[in-house]
Chains A and B, each alone.
Chain A
Amino acid sequence: MGERLTTSTLLVTEEDEKKHEIIGAKGEGKELTKEEKQRLRKEKKQHKKNKKDDRGPPEKEKEKEKASVPAPSKPATQSPAHKAAPVPVNASASESPVAAEKPAKSKAELRAERRARQDSERASKQGKKEGGQQSTSSKPKATPNELQPVVKRLPDHVQVDDPVALKKLAKKLERQQVPLRSDYGYKVSLFSHLHQYSRKNPPTQQISIPVTVIHPSIVRLGLQYSQGIIAGSNARSVALLHAFKQVIQDYSTPPNEELSRDLVNKLSPYISFLSQCRPLSASMGNAIKYIKKEISNIPSQCKEEEAKRILQECIDSYINEKIILASEAISKYAIEKISDGDVILVYGCSSLVNHILCEAFEKQRKFRVIVVDSRPRLEGREALRRLVKKGIRCTYVLISALSYILPEVSKVFLGAHALLANGYVMSRVGTSQIALVAKAYNVPVLVCCETYKFCERVQTDSFVSNELDDPDDLIVTRNGKTHLENWQTVKSLGLLNLVYDVTPPDFVDLVITDLGMIPCTSVPVVLRVKNVDQ
């Protein structure tokens, strides 16, 4: 025991020194060199092993007991398994007093145990295959599950109430040297699995200056996202792609590294940082997937300048094809659906819908627009400004007056944040309300969405995955009165500021995409066709 203490204390003191070095480096904002990162990793592994040794001996004793009790009751086919099992257990039992002293021995012991376990599993599987002929119909479903337990991983940003997931996220961010943003205020219990941040504490404040870990254009972008300066899924994606262009421009391949692999690794901390500032949208996710694919497809013999040029071109063509040309195509189809004398209802500010209406007005269609708006974002005012500037006749109402205004309306045009694989439309909160009331009044609802916003996710309600905005936005009312200023002092009061909601496909009559006009239920077909193309 005395020996063990000295070795462990020795290890501890060495570690402390190294840690101080590394903490110093982090504090200065210097990026950890590869060697330092490797050293950190090795130390963590050592720590874990020491912890395991402490726990190891008492666990092995328990195993031995368990193995001995069921041994006589098991059938003959299981006997080879058991012959293997007691062996390492006995070995471990004999070694247990010695194991505490020498960590090296426990490694071999663990390996032997693992091998024994694998052997026993293999033998039991064989036994089951030979033995269970009658139960093969029921077993085949069981055995594949045993072979490969398929675990569906939930994304981090919807597991905020799970401490294990939070710890994992914190560790990952620490490794990438990205500041962790803490939640703000009391969360309504139904949404406690989501993040809720305050706009007054952007994560950019936690970064030291000069910033060398995260590229400055990414920092600027993160600030713009978190403060709501850039809003709207098209705007966010385009800004992201432009920032990435800047990053690629300033990137230089370190020696002994390949651009195609290193650049992708470089982008990961940036993406973590941006998702800390504001959760990524579906369109941003697709754009990032595209960039990563393009980067990893760069041939290794390509020179750096050439590779950078290729990537810049790829990004430019992506923006051009998927966003700009797509909106032209969508306008073309949508204008067919606008006839003279129409009264069109729009909600909030969708860049695509505004573009369609402006184009239709230029093509001399006679229509008028009703803009529906809602608190606290009041995005409809921006849409109103743009349309009135063009000269389109507009009416402005709040969403509470929806059922009053709807009998006048002939069509509803909605934008979308994302289209899910089961045909549900994810859009600004309030959209599903509009679709519901329009359906009740038999008014056709048209959703306009580019294909790059289609995502493979499936969702049937607005709870599982959403975004919670700053609750303090709800405090100020129209007259400037702030009755809710001290809402945090009231323990039972929660302010909920949701950003998105999902609309079922039964309420949507038509989806206009750059591929044409499709019913809402055909979204998975388009996804399938797209995957085949790629």
Chain B
Amino acid sequence: MEERELVEYFRAQIREDPDVASAVAAIRSLLEFLKRDQSESCLVFRESVQGYEMRMLTNACASLGETILGLRENQTKAIQRLEETDSSVAVSSGGELFLRFISLTSLEHPDLSQCKNVMIERGELFLKKISLSRGKVGKLCHTFIKDGAKILTHSSSRVVLKVLENAAADNKRFTVYVTESQPDSAGKLMAQKLHNLNIPVTVVLDAAVGYIMEKVDLVIVGAEGVVESGGVINKIGTYQMAVCSKAHNKPFYVVAESFKFVRLYPLNQQDVPDRFKYKADILKTVKDLNQEHPMIDYTPPSLITLLFTDLGVLTPSAVSDELIKLYL
């Protein structure tokens, strides 16, 4: 499967189902890539076997390793390609986790096709698990919304929408304030969606976060990535909101699925890598990044009260524990 096809498939996935998380779409594309990759590498395998008829066994084994390694390389290249298309942190983390999940059994089976099948099976399993994660998070979090609560949220997040949906279905009365979230005005989109759910919603300016903080009871935001320290990477303006909520002693909740856990450890805003801060096409075209506005910022763990994930309700210090379990 060519890289072009991969990107097309990815874009098609997002177009067809706008509600799907970009990471899930990326993983689906990677799985498809893996399936279609089968024929190519089998070809390579057959050629190598024909070439070394005498020492078939040893060389077959060697080429087996080669093709599996080649598989992994192809997958990594595919992930990089997808990152270039959509530079969100979630794609990077989801891709890496996918690769780790399927390649845990890479060298157990001597037969290549069997190995391949196992990898594909595991890939499907992984995909199924993460498709359910948003529902799990929604179920966990909505109990923290009390009747009569006033909630502040930032920009447009599908997970937060799910949470609010669940809370509304539970017959709770609450009002929502959404920030406009320039430069793409995603907040207005969120307000529209909430309006369709019959939840009273008000759109506020980004600059009005300090003003509105005394009125609200709690703050819920989504995340594009959860880093090792327990902090989160999210749309620009989240850090401001977190600092304000800390100053007013309001709880600051983050809702995120577990595939967004990424092995980054930023120390401050500058330490976040450039490839996440700006949109993919800007990275390719613009020379001087100092003139561009970053799209995300980093919120340190000291400002976050709790994280709601499909692994459970975690404090920021427990995120590292989970990451160690996932990666080590």
Write the residues of chain A forming the contact surface with B, with a CB cutoff of 8 angstroms. Answer: 337, 339, 411, 444, 446, 506, 509-510, 515-519, 521-522, 525-526, 529
Contact = CB atoms under 8 A, between A and B. Distances in A.
Interface stretch (B10-18, B139-147, B264-272): B264-272
Contacts of A515: 328
A329 to B, nearest CB: 14
Which of A506, A518, A526: most chain B Cβ within 10 A? A518
A15 to B, nearest CB: 61
A526 B320 CA distance: 10
Given A510-B229, A517-B228, A522 B324 contact: yes
Nearest to A523: B320
Given A444-B267, A519-B317, A525 B228 contact: no
A446 B265 CA distance: 12
B320 to A, nearest CB: 4
B321 interface: yes
Contacts of B302: 506
19 contacts: A339-B270, A411-B267, A444-B268, A509-B229, A509-B267, A510-B265, A515-B328, A516-B263, A517-B228, A518-B228, A518-B324, A519-B228, A519-B230, A519-B317, A519-B320, A521-B320, A522-B324, A525-B320, A525-B321
B95 interface: no
A439 B265 CA distance: 18
Contacts of B317: 519, 521-522
A525 B265 contact: no
A530 B324 CA distance: 12
Given A444-B268, A515-B328, 10 more contacts: A337-B267, A339-B271, A444-B267, A510-B229, A518-B228, A519-B229, A519-B301, A522-B317, A522-B321, A529-B324
Contacts of B268: 444
B243 to A, nearest CB: 12
Contact of A529 (B267, B270, B271, B328): B328
Please classify how large the interface on chain B is, using the bins under 10, 10 to 19, 20 to 34, 35 or more: 10 to 19
A411 B268 CA distance: 11
Contacts of A339: 270-271
B324 A526 contact: yes
Nearest to B268: A444
Interface string B245-289: 000000000000000000101011011000000000000000000
Contacts of A519: 228-230, 301, 317, 320
B100 to A, nearest CB: 14
Chain A interface mostly: mixed
What 3 A-B pairs are tightest by C-beta distance, nearest first?
A521-B317, A444-B267, A522-B320
Nearest to A522: B320
A362 B301 CA distance: 34
B240 to A, nearest CB: 16
Given A510-B229, A529-B328, A518 B267 contact: no
A498 to B, nearest CB: 30
Contacts of B263: 516
B124 to A, nearest CB: 30
Interface in B281-314: 301-302
Contact of A517 (B230, B265, B321, B328): B265
A521 B317 CA distance: 6
Which of A517, A518, A519, A525: most chain B Cβ within 10 A? A519
Nearest to A506: B302
B304 to A, nearest CB: 13
A446 B229 CA distance: 13
Which of A444, A506, A521: most chain B Cβ within 10 A? A521
A120 to B, nearest CB: 49
A518 B324 CA distance: 9
Which of B228, B230, B270, B320: most chain A Cβ within 10 A? B320
Contacts of A337: 267, 271
Contacts of B230: 519
Contacts of B328: 515, 529
B267 to A, nearest CB: 4
A522 B265 CA distance: 14
B271 A518 contact: no
A530 to B, nearest CB: 11
B66 to A, nearest CB: 27
B267 A525 contact: no
Contact of B267 (A510, A522, A526): A510
Interface string B33-73: 00000000000000000000000000000000000000000
Interface string B188-218: 0000000000000000000000000000000
A510 B300 CA distance: 12
A509 B270 CA distance: 15
Nearest to B263: A516
Contacts of B270: 339
Contacts of A444: 267-268
A74 B324 CA distance: 59
Contacts of B271: 337, 339
A515 B270 CA distance: 24
Interface string B137-159: 00000000000000000000000
Contacts of B229: 509-510, 519
A350 to B, nearest CB: 19
B127 to A, nearest CB: 27
B263 to A, nearest CB: 8
A509 B321 CA distance: 16
A339 to B, nearest CB: 8
A446 B320 CA distance: 16
Nearest to B230: A519
Which of B228, B268, B302, B321: most chain A Cβ within 10 A? B321
A99 to B, nearest CB: 63
A506 B317 CA distance: 11
Nearest to A333: B265
A519 B266 CA distance: 11
A323 to B, nearest CB: 21
A238 to B, nearest CB: 27
Contacts of A522: 317, 320-321, 324
